[in-house]
Structure 1
Amino acid sequence: MRNIAPVVALIFALLWTGSEAAAQRRPDGRIVNGREANEGEFPYQLSLRRLTVHICGASVLDGSWAITAAHCIDGHENQPQEFTLRLGSVKRASGGSLMPVRTIYKHPSYDSRDMNFDVALLRTQPGALTMDPNVSPIGLPESGEPIEENLYAVVSGWGYMSSTESVLSSVLKYTTVQTVNQEKCHNDLRYHGGVTEAMFCASARNTDACQGDSGGPLTAQGRLIGIVSWGVGCADPYYPGVYTRLSHPSIRRWVRLLTKL
């Protein structure tokens, strides 16, 4: 059996406690109480794998570029040969295609202590990600575009299915959440470090993204508005999930500079 200790370390080594924090913020990662996706329903969804083991979600931006959370690759961005992407399948461990990652770019302002600017880009060989007929890219918001309060959005992934069982889902799952007022988001999480303008919150009753979904997509109105980043607990009514804000000007400029998208 393959030793997956390095992968477990990658996911859990990034726990952080702020000076006022009563508990640790942690990389988010499971779809709790979600629904199973049908083949072709999320054609932009990717499984990011390190040493053949699923560690995070990711999304297709075009034929050569994918996007994920920086904490998924932090400390390993100089070893892209360790990473592959499974695409074109709702099954975590089979189907679709496996593509090697050629280059990893972590946002230059990413801070593992507070998860700020939690975004990374993955480059494959040109056109590799759209060779599969079951794959299509997802668009990005414009720079500075606001996220409306109470906007319905969909989050998807293969992460743990409950807060008590550390078992990844074999089939892609998804759920619907609503975006949260930014001031309320910050206040709800103030004892866990709060949120920055490069983050936003979304939540729903009894369902959530919460290890394994990190880096995956949050979409609304046909566009990728967020990346699963961190949280306190899972599907906890007192704590919304936190996502990387892809319309943040620093993030959007950086993505455009590298990908031209």
Structure 2
Amino acid sequence: MRCSLAKAVTGGLAMVAAAAVLPLAAPTPAAADRIVVGGTPVDVADNPWVVALSSRARFGGTRGGQFCGGVVVGRSTVLTAAHCMSAEVLGGPPSRRDDLKVVVGRNDLLAKDGKEIPVRRVAINPGHNSVTNAGDAAVLTLATPLPQRNVIPMARQGDSAYTPETRATVYGWGDTTGAGHYARTLRAAQVRVLPDSLCKQAYPGTSEGTYLAASMLCAGERPGGRDACQGDSGGPLVARGRLVGLVSWGSGCGWAGSPGVYTRISAVLRPLGLGH
């Protein structure tokens, strides 16, 4: 998912995430590569820190229960979007979702390979604001630790990976067109980190959302065509080998002038107890 203003439990790599189970309006997206709204297939074995979140009881078996993405930042620690853990998405508090699992090492959502690891604890960022979508992050503690090779480093404040025009990659299993066509296998789209000034102009505080540079980051391509989409929420945005963002929200998928908005990782490390 990603909220569109919260591209969440509805979808892909054209991404958006803010409110949660809201379908996006779907005018024709920009005409750049139309896979994962501008993405291509990738192998999870080459990106072992990318994981899917699953609850078959809540979302059914069609996509193996997948509803959001996540990223491994510690052997027992996964980051995802706070809105993915909302009652609106899960149908109640996370503690009542007994079958909530993190799916690791599985490219095809309907395959049997990889592992499905139960989530032992969920901690929502105390600074998360569900109205503005600021601080859209949550920590999932796994019941079983993963190998160190699954862990991706996180970009801290001042990291050069946040520099505008830096090439970045966003990953997910969500909507690949902006029209409800979901991927079964992992996709990735190449985007650029965009200047805060452009993002503030795109989301100045209308019904489409408000861009807050202190806790958000936006990425995409100025002409549109590459973006995250429904189903991609909580998935990673990676630049220069570091995690810089989590798919959070946006307007549409791959639309020109409406880049995807991500949770800025450096802004949530300390509130989540990861800033040591």
Is the structural similarity TM-score above 0.5?
yes
Match of 1:110 in 2: 128
User: Which residue does the alignment assign to 1:233?
Assistant: 252
What SS class does the counterpart of residue 209 from structure 1 fall into? coil
Structure-1 separation of matches of 2:144 and 2:275: 14
Pairwise mapping of residues 24-103 of structure 1 onto structure 2 (< 5 A)? 31-50=36-55, 51=57, 53-75=65-87, 76-79=93-96, 81-94=98-111, 95-103=113-121
- Distance in 2 (alpha carbons) for counterparts of 1:78 and 1:144: 36
Distance 1:144 1:213 in 2: 26
Q: Deviations over 1:173-223 (max 9, x none)?
A: 001100111022111111333211100110123121121100000001111
State the TM-score, normalizing by the size of structure 1.
Answer: 0.81
Q: CA RMSD in A?
A: 2.4
CA-to-partner distance for each residue in 1:28-80, whole Å, 9 max, x for gaps?
A: xx931310012512110000012361000000112111000000001223335
Check the 8 A contact 1:31/1:213 in 2, yes or no.
Answer: no
Structure 1 residue 238 displacement after superposition: 1.4
Cα deviation 1:64-97 (Å, max 9, x = unaligned): 1100000000122333523101101221232211
Distance 1:260-1:208 versus aligned 2 partners, 3 A rule = closer
Q: Which residue of 1 aligns with 2:171?
A: 156
CA distance in 1 between counterparts of 2:165 and 2:141 reads 33
Instruction: Give the number of the structure with larger relative contact order, counting CA–CA contacts within 8 Å between residues 6 or more apart.
Output: 2
Structure-to-structure mapping, 1:185-196, within 5 angstroms: 185-190=199-204, 191=206, 192-196=208-212
Question: 2:32 maps to what in 1?
Answer: none
Structure 1 CA distance, aligned partners of 2:18 and 2:166? 31
User: Does residue 270 of structure 2 align to residue 253 of structure 1?
Assistant: yes
For 2:237, the equivalent position in structure 1 comes to 218
Q: TM-score, normalised by structure 2?
A: 0.77
Alignment match of 1:180 (pick from 187, 194, 197): 194
Identity of aligned residues (%): 31
CA–CA distance in structure 2, aligned partners of residues 181 and 260 of structure 1: 25
Moved over 2 A (4+): 11-16, 75-82, 143-146, 191-194
- Distance of 2:67 and 2:21 partners within structure 1: 16
1:120 corresponds in structure 2 to 138
Point out where structure 2 has 5 or more consecutive residues left out of the alignment: 1-8, 11-16, 26-34, 58-63, 88-92
Letter of the aligned partner of 1:46 in structure 2? V
Q: Which amino acid aligns with 1:193?
A: G
Supply the distance in 1 between the matched residues of 2:74 and 2:128 (Cα, whole angstroms): 23
- The amino acid that maps onto 2:210 is G
